[in-house]
Amino acid sequence: MNKQQLAAKIWESANKMRSKIEANEYKVYILGFMFYKFLSEKELKYLRAEGWTDEYLPEINEHDNEVATHVKRNIGYFISYENLFSTWINKGRDFSVQNVTDALNAFSRNINSSHKSVFEGIFETLQTGLSKLGETDASRSKSISELIHLIKNIPMDGKQDYDVLGFIYEYLIEKFAANAGKKASKFYTPHEVSVLMSEIVAEHLKDLSKLEKTFKASEGLFEIDDLEIFENVAYIMAYHADRSIAGNIDDWLDQFEMFSIYEILPEILELWGANLETEVQSKKLTKSSREMTTALFLLRCVEIGISISELDLLTIGMVLDIWTEKSNDGVKYSKVAGQAEFDKF
């Protein structure tokens, strides 16, 4: 059975098993258990590499502080043998929902301090939602048992020529998104869009890297191709800041009078690099305390669509005020002043 067939089989079964549970909710269970299986098998792989054999693996538990601490330091978490996904499977009819509850509680308290930001609370939604899988412990146990047996055959050892787990994970998310209707956009980005976005970013990073190397190596002298890269990077930054600017780079460049790009280029490189390293946050901005240089001032003008010729009509303070207010466009105010308020003012 290839990965497409396995993914389709899992989806078909899961879709029947979810009964009246919304697809958008059921994804939490199946994807949550898939991830728990992945973490369990990752730990088993590590322990076997450390010399643990199947004969002694059942002895591993969180009360053995030395072993638990050693595992946590190396993979970020620790799962006792009794709480491993494979142990659940081997329990057969003795498996119950309590096994899952105990395991998820134990996982929460056995996360290494350095990995809290990665794993803490990761199974909280799964754990709190277990009650929806049945009206009694027996019915919940049966539902979970069917679910974990459904995904037990997903290979996660990386020995295949392709990422089976990743393919199935993405396949299921797509299917759940399609069944969730309009809600899908909240948690699913189509694979094709993700690939396109990564290719665009990679292409721009490649150009930026080339530009930086050339700038440093040639002490400010560029080839024609390098100047074109600079123009593209500057246009992308300006368009990101203001989508109303010319949609064509040539039309955008025509609005500027001649000025030395060597003066502004270091600022472009610095700001572009900083933009890639930080997350965009929607919050009200104030005037920057950063030292205002000629290059930075020209960059600000470019970003808000002010041409060099239009600067004769504006003061430096007005330009900076425009820049500050433009940055505040994304801020959600509790009340926006209307004409009546302005008249009253």
pLDDT digits (tens, 9 = 90+) for 163-189: 677 777 777 777 777 776 644 445 556
By the 10 Å C-beta count (0-12 exposed, 13-18 middle, 19+ buried), 14 is classed as buried
Rounded CA gap, 256 and 180, in Å? 49
Rounded CA gap, 291 and 310, in Å? 23
The reported pLDDT for the residue numbered 263 is: 58
The reported pLDDT for the residue numbered 334 is: 67
Rounded CA gap, 94 and 300, in Å? 67
Please list the residue range(s) of the chain that carry CATH number 1.20.1260.30: 3-188
Bridge partners for 77 per DSSP: 111
For 307-333, b/e burial (b = at least 16 CB within 10 A) is: eeeebeeeeeeebbebbeebbeeeeee
Digit-coded pLDDT (tens) for 255-264? 766 555 555 6
Mean pLDDT of 301-317: 68
Q: Is the pLDDT score of 19 beyond 80?
A: no
Q: How many CB atoms lie within 10 A of CB 131?
A: 11
Digit-coded pLDDT (tens) for 114-142? 888 888 888 988 888 888 888 899 999 99
The reported pLDDT for the residue numbered 27 is: 78
> The domain 3-188 is classified under which CATH number: 1.20.140.10, 1.10.10.10, 1.20.1260.30, 1.20.1530.20?
1.20.1260.30
Q: Among the listed ranges 43-47, 48-52, 207-211, 317-321, which one has the minimum average pLDDT value?
A: 207-211
Query: For residue 80, what are the CA distances in angstroms to 10, 13, 71, 162?
Result: 28, 30, 11, 30
Mean pLDDT of 266-274: 60
Query: For residue 7, what are the CA distances in angstroms to 39, 80, 161, 179?
Result: 20, 29, 16, 16
